[in-house]
Amino acid sequence: MKLRLSILTGFFLLTLSANAQQQQPKLVVGVVVDQMCYDYLYRFYDQFGKDGFRRLMDKGTHFRNVTYNYVPTYTGPGHASIYTGTTPANHGIVANEWFHREYGKEVNCVEDTTVRSIGNPEAEDGLRSPHFLRANTITDQIKLTYPMGKVVGVSIKDRSAILPAGHMPDGAYWYDHASGKFITSSFYKETLPLWVSDFYTSNPVGNYMDQEWKLLHPADKYNYRDLDNSPYEQLMPGKTTPTFPYDFRSFPLADQLNYFTVLPFANTYLTDFALQALKSESLGQDENVDMLTISYSTPDIAGHSFGPYSLEMEDMYLRLDLEIARLLTTLDKEVGKGNYVLFLTADHAVVPVPQLLQDKQLPGGYVYLTPKLEELRQACTAKFGSEVIDRIENNNVYLKTEVIATEKAAEITVFIQQQIRGWKEVKAVYTKDELLGAAAGDEWLRMVRLGYDRERSGEVIFLLQPGFLPKSNNTDDAHKGTSHGSAFNYDTHVPVLFYGAGIPKQEVFTPYQIVDIAASVVHILQVQRPNAMIGKPMVELFMKK
């Protein structure tokens, strides 16, 4: 394997040198689908149209063996890692939220109370920026190298627009749940561009909400048609069964605006906005290279409730296929087939509903953290004479701030580690000293270390057994729906597709990591590697056939 990789690297360097003078594309489009399992591409392949996912698979480069190389696999860390080409240990986005010791509270990974909301002055959703992001992104590198080039990031989720767009974009826009508009913050602009305001005037969110979610095709065309009333799905508001159709039109406006993001029409809303950004910002229309980042959040918002083996998610992806096709068709028309490169991937995948796994006699289950934490607190108090644990967040155990500086801190963390090792639902547990120590051969330790930040992570981190999810308590609702965040393949194995100018048509089985995407875009754009990048180029993209 080492010899093969050395040969591939040699070929890559020769090819790159020979093609160094090639014109880079006018536009790079990065598409991230939130919570997309790798096998969705094949599970729904026959139902997809020819111009969406299948076009990317059949006419581009399909990397079939790409995984995340760290934990935790959440949305914030995923987007930051894709676009910085490094892991949370370097870029600092260790979760969607974490306990911030200096503030004494949990913080959102893009929270910023020093900025103002632009587009809706009252919106808390607007108090956002990338100030927690410690590494440069590929989009930052574009702005450094080509100052006249433009970068725009859009998403329903704030973090999914902000982290890909980086620190210096021409715009980052996300959905405001209070108004239904796309907004930004004063970190980027003092006023909304006129085109953003005009978009909402001509495309009010009410037009997208004013419909029910029913099946796109006749029911007999679906693989999961017999699983509509599944016991493993959470109930949507106003429903007595988890079945089609879904309709929030009779709800108060505030609830409609909130629940709208679970509907596939939110993907359409985002595509329309992205295409308006493409046109209004004249992306890909001159000699300066531009980048547009688009993140589809709704598959994740819905996926938590329904799980990956559901009729709802099948219909979600058939509808998303139409959005991908519309995006590609517009890029062909507005930018030109030979003038852009698009890549598509996911920020993580998802575990099947653990209760479903249990019912099918597969490994899986739940750990109920409220009683576990209480037992742990009592054991620590009995051992050390006082309360030493502050909280558990994202499988991180945080000690109280006043305890960390004491001589007993190391002893306390080892004691907590020993206690957690006794939980049958836990696969591995590591202390801060182990994570900051010398390299080890333990693969799970390596993945945790790559996702660890000494200021933002806890003093003890544990991994659950495959198929297990953490829950607060053992309730009926805890056994419905699902989540992600683990080191296992159901969370870490994701699609990676490249398509467009100079991209060969091929399937690639070479193992790569998620941090290698940005390392490849570096060479497509002929720019310097961003400061903390650890990824390597996906060499098959550059080996002309």
Give residue 545's pLDDT. Answer: 60
Asked if the model's pLDDT at residue 11 lies above 50, the reply is no
Q: What percent helix, strand, coil does the chain show, rounded to 5? A: 40, 20, 45
Note the pLDDT tens digit of each residue in 116-169: 999 999 999 999 999 999 999 999 999 999 999 999 999 999 999 999 999 999
Note the pLDDT tens digit of each residue in 159-211: 999 999 999 999 999 999 999 999 999 999 999 999 999 999 999 999 999 99
Catalytic residue list: 75
Q: How far apart are CA 530 and CA 20, in angstroms?
A: 19
User: Max alpha carbon distance in the chain (Å)?
Assistant: 70
Q: How far apart are CA 402 and CA 381, in angstroms?
A: 15
Q: How far apart are CA 38 and CA 29, in angstroms?
A: 20
Give residue 14's pLDDT. Answer: 46
Note the pLDDT tens digit of each residue in 88-102: 999 999 999 999 998
Cβ atoms of residues 49 and 319 within 8 Å: no
| Residue 155 bridge partners (DSSP) | 295
Give residue 169's pLDDT. Answer: 98
β-pairing verdict for 506-508 and 182-185: unpaired
pLDDT band at residue 20 under the 50/70/90 scheme = very low
CB atoms inside a 10 Å sphere around CB 339: 17
Inter-residue long-range contacts of 111-117, CB under 8 Å, 24+ positions, other chains counted: 112/185, 112/187, 115/185, 115/186, 115/187, 116/185, 116/186, 117/176, 117/183, 117/185, 117/186
Domains of the chain as residue ranges with CATH: 24-353+494-537 (3.40.720.10), 365-479 (3.30.1360.150)
Note the pLDDT tens digit of each residue in 460-518: 999 999 999 999 999 999 999 999 999 999 999 999 999 999 999 999 999 999 999 99
Give residue 23's pLDDT. Answer: 74
Burial of 229 (0-12, 13-18, 19+ CB in 10 A): exposed
Q: How far apart are CA 255 and CA 8, in angstroms?
A: 54
Average pLDDT, the chain: 95
Give residue 15's pLDDT. Answer: 47
Note the pLDDT tens digit of each residue in 215-225: 999 999 999 99
What are 379's two structure tokens?
């054991």
Note the pLDDT tens digit of each residue in 47-101: 999 999 999 999 999 999 999 999 999 999 999 999 999 999 999 999 999 999 9
Give residue 213's pLDDT. Answer: 98
